[in-house]
Amino acid sequence: MPRALITGITGQDGAYLSALLLEKGYEVFGLLRRSASSEVVGARLHWLGVQDRVRLLDGNLMDLSSLLRVMEEVQPDEVYNLAAQSFVKASWQQPLLTGQVTALGANNLLEAVRLIRPQARFYQASSSEMFGKVEGGAQNERTPFHPRSPYAVSKLYAHWITVNYRESFGLHASSGILFNHESPLRGVEFVTRKITDGAARIRLGLAQTLPMGNLEARRDWGHARDYVRAMWLMLQQPEPGDFVVATGRSASVREFCELAFAHVGLDWRRHVVLDPAFLRPAEVDVLQGDATRAREVLGWRPETSLEELVAEMVEADLRRHRDRMR
Ligand code: NDP
Ligand code: GDP
């Protein structure tokens, strides 16, 4: 049985990746950072029904000694580094913490792999936010980076240190440059889930308005379930590399609002209000990925349309709120 170690296993992608790897016959281990609210920690794994089939080991990306211990204990064949301070907006409020976790944390994990388990294959969760201020058409692996937030700068460090460990030490280390991917398990602070949760609450009479920031920003939104498949495929290749993972379709926050509210029979313009508190010091105006390389080398294709994604998310939020109201 192959063994996989996932950092960030309690997050959105960690839950979907766990389910995928279990289905493929892996033994799945996850790094768990200690929390005083332990009852909510496994909520996403629970949602997908896999909480009893993964083994969680205490550790923190900022604590190299814990990573060395976990690496020693698990002896993984594959390591997926999904842990991060992952919310762009929070990275201006906590830039140093973001750097310590998202940038140096990745380096800590690479050190643990290099020292304890150099034969393991390594995946780094890189981000389309690294492209930032883009010029011209769709972004691919050759597009220059111009990060626009402490989060994106930290991800860029993690991306390059992954490339560097591959080139310096011959690690099988790959970096997936993933565009935004969402699901019913997306954190409610991110724009898509905020909108689907808001539309559901307004439909059920639990709220009247939804305060929002920049409605003109455009993102290339896919489904997390499709994107974790690309992560796994990268580690099955004979050679490591960097891959853009995206749908190729870009839509605005405004269009996402339209779709989500229409799904519950509402006109978004009557409920969405602008609130400057949700604007950012620097914005990434538009992202649209070109995943030709992933398609040609990995045979990867997204399977969920934006409309299907919105419908699944809104339905899940309606169910959640109805259950709470009972
Ligand atoms: P989430 O925010 O849902 O999950 C982040 C995970 O990191 C959580 O499990 C969290 O644990 C863990 N974590 C945070 N800090 C630490 C730490 N110091 N030590 C150990 N674990 C820690 O992110 P997603 O699942 O959405 O994304 C997965 C990865 O992919 C992230 O690195 C993200 O930045 C990146 N990415 C995501 C994209 C997206 O659209 N979703 C796009 C491109 C990249 P806890 O539960 O305790 O908070
Ligand atoms: P990001 O692409 O990783 O920053 O993902 P988010 O989902 O947090 O934000 C996507 C885009 O939506 C950004 O351009 C935000 O400025 C924009 N946006 C507009 N209103 C909001 C809001 O209320 N919350 C969030 N999170 N983003 C918003």
pLDDT at 150 over 80: yes
Ligand 2 center–CA 218 separation, angstroms: 9
C-alpha dihedral (48, 50, 54, 57), degrees to nearest 10? 50
What tens digit of pLDDT does each residue of 206-219 get? Answer: 999 999 999 999 99
Mean pLDDT rounded to a whole number for the chain: 97
What tens digit of pLDDT does each residue of 103-144 get? Answer: 999 999 999 999 999 999 999 999 999 999 999 899 999 999
Cβ(253)–Cβ(212) below 8 Å: yes
Ligand 2 center–CA 191 separation, angstroms: 5
Tell me if residue 91 is catalytic: no
- Whole-angstrom Cα distance, residue 284 to residue 133? 6
Residue among 16, 151, 165, 227 flagged as catalytic: 151
- Whole-angstrom Cα distance, residue 73 to residue 144? 39
User: Which of ligand 2's atoms lies nearest the C-alpha of 189?
Assistant: 26
Cβ(196)–Cβ(309) below 8 Å: no
Q: How many CB atoms lie within 10 A of CB 115?
A: 13
Residue 248, ligand 2, Cβ within 6 A? no
Which tokens in the block code for residue 317? 């939020």
What tens digit of pLDDT does each residue of 180-198 get? Answer: 999 999 999 999 999 999 9
Concatenated DSSP letters of 288-303 = -B--HHIIIII-----
pLDDT-based confidence at residue 202 (cuts at 50, 70, 90)? very high
Task: Say what angle helices 12-23 and 224-235 make with each other, to 10 degrees.
Answer: 60
Ligand 1 center–CA 181 separation, angstroms: 12
Which tokens in the block code for residue 40? 């909510």
What tens digit of pLDDT does each residue of 35-88 get? Answer: 888 778 889 999 999 999 999 999 999 999 999 999 999 999 999 999 999 999
pLDDT at 273 over 80: yes
Note the pLDDT of residue 326: 84
Share of the chain above pLDDT 90, in %: 96
What is the CB < 6 Å shell around ligand 1?
7-8, 10-14, 31, 33, 35, 60-62, 82-86, 101, 105, 125, 127, 178, 180-181, 187
| Ligand positioned closest to the Cα atom of 42 | 1
Note the pLDDT of residue 276: 98
pLDDT-based confidence at residue 241 (cuts at 50, 70, 90)? very high
Domains and CATH numbers, the chain: 3-181+222-245 (3.40.50.720), 187-219+250-287+304-325 (3.90.25.10)
User: Which of ligand 1's atoms lies nearest the C-alpha of 8?
Assistant: 9
Note the pLDDT of residue 38: 75
Note the pLDDT of residue 215: 98
Contacts of residue 253, defined as CB under 8 A and 6 or more positions apart, other chains included, come to 191, 195, 212, 214, 215, 216, 217, 218, 219
